[in-house]
Structure 1
Amino acid sequence: MGDMMAKRPKEEFIKQCPECGSTHLIWDYERGELVCGDCGAVIEDSFIDQGPEWRAFDAEQDEKRARTGAPLTFLSHDKGLATEISWSNKDSYGKRIPHKNRAQIYRVRKWHQRIRVSNAAERNLSVALQELNNVSSKMGLPKDVRETAAIIYRKAVEKNLIRGRSIESIVAASIYAACRKVGMPRTLDEVAKASELNKKKIGRAYRHLTKELNLNLKPTTATSYITQFCSKLHLDKNVVNKAEEIVQQATERGITSGKGPTGVAAAAIYIAANMMNEPRTQKEIAEVAGVTEVTIRNRYKEISSALNVEIPK
């Protein structure tokens, strides 16, 4: 029986008890047995525990005791498969490296960094991914968005879409596309500010990527911008919910058709904030949303007229 269980790659193969047909099965890892919770029959014994033999009480301890390396990451040009030499002056036992050996260790680090990049293509990819990390950090984007942006950029490199365009513009366009792909859209103004590039240049690069890579990104909606705008304006959840409700009602009546989603979101937040007694000026909202005050006024008039909403004075 033990040999049979050792060959079994996954414990989930056994779905029910062969004696009573119950699906209430209990894996007893201390005894190495699979027991039926209803009739008590021992279905398997001496199975192999696939987990580690050590225990960890926090994430840091788990990382230190793990015998595997870091997971693959597209944010590094070599996908994180190369050896890393720490810049902390400590050895593998945690002891400080003597001063007389530090110059030698520094040379080892320096040459290690140089030989990690073997040709011009890898060097360009390394520079681009570093730029991607820098821009993403300025925008406060999570790791999943960065990984998605890195994948889009790598696809652009494979299809030779970088030729004739600056690395910075393609990186910024990849970040903009990644934000939309994972459902966390950012405005072109935000990306342009973080990357210090012209908005039109990023827009051209983005359209080029979507066309050549067939990204098929869905148009952004006003609702997707409300949470982040409210967060920057320090508005609570009640305002977010009210603004989303206003946008939904406006969409159902066809008011938002053909209108920019950021302008609609800004107007909805302006109305909701005033209704919930947390007023913000049109100027404050315009700066956060990256639209003009005129746009907010126009959208506000259309929405308030159609929904018969009055802002308390």
Structure 2
Amino acid sequence: MSIMATREIYETAFDEDVQTHSSANQCPECDGRVTTNAVETVCEECGLVVNEHQIDHGPEWRAFDEDERERTGAPLTAARHDRGLSTEIGHGADANGNTLSGRKRRQVARMRREQTRGRFQSEAERNLAHGLGEVRRIVSTLELSETIRDQACRLFRSAQNEDLLPGRSIEAMATASVYGACRCNGISRTLDDVTDPARVEKSRVTNAYKTLNTELGLPAKPVTPSAFVPRLASELDVPDQIRQRARKLAEDSESTGVTTGVRPSGFAAACLYKAGHEQGQLFTQSAVAEAANVSPVTVRTHRDALDELAV
């Protein structure tokens, strides 16, 4: 084979490889650029998921073979004062599930008591455990995500490291940490919503949150009325058409600046009230105000502002 023929074969193969590589890096929908991470391949332009890896290549925490059965324990978590590394002594059975004898149960009970006594190395660690437990309780009552729980726990831990707890209630600082995590993520939870399951007065939570916001410089996002519309619509069980109309009313009002300085939940309630009347579903002002935890006068005032805007 001549040198020219061999060169043409290599050039043809190189061109085909370039075309295949370029097509693999293009979105099949919009021809945009795609990027691949450890989980999926996504188009940067339209967001199309081109490919995803459904196999978890992480470590297997448990082996079910009888000869190699072992368990490494739960992963580290910010919701515990010791990151979840403390020892927990069970009740009533050994590692193989066999029932303990009376003598062994009494021995395990004594071990559990001594382990509980030596669980905390200092008073600060005991306060941290109490505060994180309060954070977990409030987050569970409000049915918030684990991400919010972990962020609230980190806020409380940062508050203790910055010596913000002396002179303030641990329960108030824990509640303020949950409210701060909600504000930083733009979640539609008012201070009243977070304070209801708390074991402290609202005024003390307010002061604790102001301290957190000032000393730690929280990147709190302003909560808009449109963010409250889905939650209120779910509580009032309204159709999707009314919910969408109420959200549009709230977004149009936000663009005009009329919602600046007003209570977002009250304005969202007024949007739902107005949208319901436009669609023929007559809500009472008392029912909408009760769902938003505001007074009927607030709903009526914001309804009049919406009528003046004619959005």
Q: TM-score range by the shorter chain?
A: 0.7 to 0.9
What is the aligned partner in structure 1 of residue 222 from structure 2?
219
Deviation string for 1:186-221 (max 9, x for gaps)?
Answer: 111112211043222211211111110011212111
The total of aligned residue pairs comes to 261
In structure 1, runs of 5+ residues without a counterpart are 1-16, 25-48, 309-313
Distance 1:97 1:55 in 2: 25
In structure 2, runs of 5+ residues without a counterpart are 1-13, 25-55
Residue from 205, 215, 230 that aligns with 2:208: 205
What is the aligned partner in structure 2 of residue 288 from structure 1?
291
Aligned structure 1 segments of 4 or more residues deviating by more than 6 angstroms: 53-56
TM-score, normalised relative to structure 2: 0.75
Alignment-mate amino acid for residue 83 of structure 1 = T
Residue from 101, 105, 109 that aligns with 1:106: 109
What is the aligned partner in structure 2 of residue 74 from structure 1?
78
Residue from 151, 162, 165 that aligns with 1:162: 165
Distance 1:52 1:219 in 2: 40
Distance 1:206 1:54 in 2: 39
Which SS does the other structure have where 1:91 is aligned? coil
Amino-acid identity (%): 36
Alignment-mate amino acid for residue 75 of structure 2 = P
Distance 1:110 1:290 in 2: 45
Which SS does the other structure have where 2:78 is aligned? coil
Shift of 1:98: 3.2
Q: Is the 8 A contact 1:153 1:170 kept in 2?
A: yes
Residue from 145, 150, 155 that aligns with 1:142: 145
Q: Is the 8 A contact 2:81 2:132 kept in 1?
A: yes
1:20-169 → structure 2 map (5 Å cutoff): 20=17, 22-23=20-21, 67-87=71-91, 89-169=92-172
Shift of 1:262: 1.6
Distance 2:291 2:166 in 1: 34
Deviation string for 1:103-143 (max 9, x for gaps)?
Answer: 22222222222212111111111111111122222222221
Distance 2:175 2:261 in 1: 26
Distance 1:239 1:68 in 2: 51
Q: Is the 8 A contact 1:266 1:289 kept in 2?
A: yes
What is the aligned partner in structure 1 of residue 52 from structure 2?
none
What is the RMSD computed on CA atoms of the aligned residues?
Answer: 2.9
Of the structure 1 ranges 169-178 and 96-105, higher mean CA displacement relative to structure 2 is found in: 96-105
Distance 2:104 2:143 in 1: 39
Distance 2:279 2:159 in 1: 46
